[in-house]
Amino acid sequence: MKRHNNAGLIFRNLAQGILTSKHLALGSFGRSIRSRRGSGVAIKAIARKIACYYYRVMTQGGEFVEKGIQVYEEHLKEKQRKYLEKMAFKLDLQLVPV
């Protein structure tokens, strides 16, 4: 039996608003998940990230700083580049920049 508490409801409501945001990295993260898995899964994923950020701020102190969508997309490109380099090495291929 599933139960939803008030905190979860609040985080999910926040996630719905962030999903449509065009300036937040969490919005970009959610849209990429929504395109693959659907809206419900994306909202749940964003809500979980918000809850983790909230917990970290409350237990360890400090501040949460939104770095923006550009930093997030650069991070994704860097991850893809590293993955391609790893696969090229594994397959004994050479990457040539364009």
Contact by Cβ (8 Å): 46, 32: no
Q: What percent of the chain has pLDDT over 70?
A: 99
**Is the pLDDT reported for residue 1 higher than 90?**
no
Do 21 and 27 touch, CB atoms closer than 8 A?
yes
pLDDT over 90 at 96, yes or no: no
Which helix (H) or strand (E) segment is 79 a member of?
helix 69-90
Burial of 77 (0-12, 13-18, 19+ CB in 10 A): exposed
Mean pLDDT to the nearest integer, 65-70? 81
Using the predicted structure, report yes or no on whether residue 92 has a pLDDT greater than 90: yes
What does the pLDDT look like over 45-57, one tens digit per residue?
A: 999 999 999 999 9
Answer yes or no: is pLDDT of 13 > 90.
yes
Q: Averaged over 84-95, what is the pLDDT?
A: 93
Q: What was the pLDDT predicted at 4? A: 73
- Measured CA to CA, the distance from residue 70 to residue 67 in angstroms comes to 8
Handedness of CA 79, 80, 83, 85 (dihedral sign): negative
